[in-house]
Amino acid sequence: MFPVLRNGLVEICGYREYAKFKRKFGVNCVICACAWEGTGDYYICGMYMKQWVRINNVSDYKFICLDSAKQRIVELFDSNTGKTYIPDSINDYWYVRWLAVFCNIDFYWLQYNSDDPDLARGVIQQVPVGYLPGYKGLEIVDTFVYGGFNLPRDIKPEIPEFDADSKIIDELFEKTKAQFYKTVLISPFTSSLTESSPPSELWQIIINELINRGYSVLTNCAANEEPLPNAKPILVPYRHIVPFLDAAGGFIGLRSGLCDIISTTKAKKIILHPYEAKYWPDGTSLKFTGLNHMGLCDDAIEFEAAPAWGNWEQIASDILRVFSQ
């Protein structure tokens, strides 16, 4: 009986947060959300919000964001400007999610997944990991579009707008002494695959050889992240990242949500998919989150690692072949 009471309290906490939201934003304002920490998840949601709002005749909504960085991702898509909300404590919205599973309320979790063992009533489990992600090529955008958003099969996503303000782009190059069309931005960090990082030697070999070939090499990192040796740190704002990369020439990234955001750059883009994964079966990263397979672009060069990065040397060699002298 105790678990029943305890979980009943969770529902009541969920109701309290839900009521707070409604008293702030009004009865017609619905709540939309995705996994709080998934950068790519916000981007995918941003792509389809406009269509979802139109098809479902939603008059007003707020998209819950973890912080201002995630907010900026959703608002890359013009139709979402002014439609995001950063609550004081996002963890309280976990209770609202529980309430939405228990009662029919206007809280929409726009990705189809079960990422909590106690909320495991969906068919696409991610905690614990199930086997539908990647099955027959089922990829993550499918789970959003058909599972979460429940949109028709011929739906087209909204196009994001990036800002190519030349003053800002020039400043970024100036600050790091990087070269136009001969700079490679490396993104070695990921929030959802932290156990699957490649050996540091892979980055070192790539960075040192690129420098020998006359390239400028930068690490995309926040203030609390350590840049890679010999690769200057830079944090390119999301709104400028695609124009920045178009001017830089190259991107190499460990599979993360940032790869979704930069998917439309004309620069050479190389994505490394680890074998081990936390939220989908091992060995399915390319099938579940590959940029080309998801239809986000058709020119990404994607590598899939062997277990425990057993083929990292081959990968390093293949990457260097992409960037000629």
- CB under 8 Å to 106, separation ≥6 — which residues? 30, 31
Cβ-count burial of 154 within 10 angstroms (0-12 exposed, 13-18 middle, 19+ buried)? exposed
Q: Which residues in 147-206 contact another protein (CB under 8 A)? A: 147, 150, 153, 155-157, 159-168
Shortest Cβ distance from residue 66 to another protein (Å)?
Answer: 13
Spatial separation of the C-alpha atoms in residues 264 and 160, rounded to whole Å: 10
**Nearer to another protein among residue 26 and residue 229 (C-beta):** 26
Q: Which is nearer to another protein, 139 or 219 (CB)?
A: 139
Element (H, E) at 210: helix 200-212
Distance of CA 142 to the CA centre of its chain: 15
Q: How far is the CB of 264 from another protein (least distance, A)?
A: 4
Sign of CA dihedral 312, 316, 317, 321: positive
Return the residues of window 236-265 that contact another protein according to CB under 8 A: 242-243, 246, 263-264
Residue closer to another protein, measured from CB, 161 or 313: 161
Q: Considering the rule CB under 8 A, would residue 289 count as an interface residue with another protein?
A: no
Residue pair 244/178 in contact by the 8 Å Cβ criterion: no
Determine if 124 is a binding residue for another protein (CB under 8 A).
Answer: yes
Residue range at the interface with another protein (CB under 8 A); choices 146-154, 182-190, 226-234, 271-279:
146-154
Q: Output DSSP code: residue 226.
A: P
Per CB under 8 A, 36 contacts another protein: no
Shortest Å, Cβ 210 to another protein:
26
Q: How far apart, in whole angstroms, are the C-alpha atoms of residue 21 and residue 268?
A: 44
Among 69, 130, 276, 283, binds another protein (CB under 8 A): 130
Q: Provide, rounded to whole angstroms, the least separation between the CB of residue 40 and another protein.
A: 15
Nearer to another protein by Cβ, of 161 and 225: the residue is: 161
Is 18 near another protein (CB under 8 A)?
yes
Residues 196 and 181: their CA atoms lie apart, in Å, by 30
Draw the binding track, 84-123, toward another protein (x: CB under 8 A; -: no contact).
xxx------------xxxxxxx------x----xxxxxxx
Coil/strand/helix, residue 311: coil
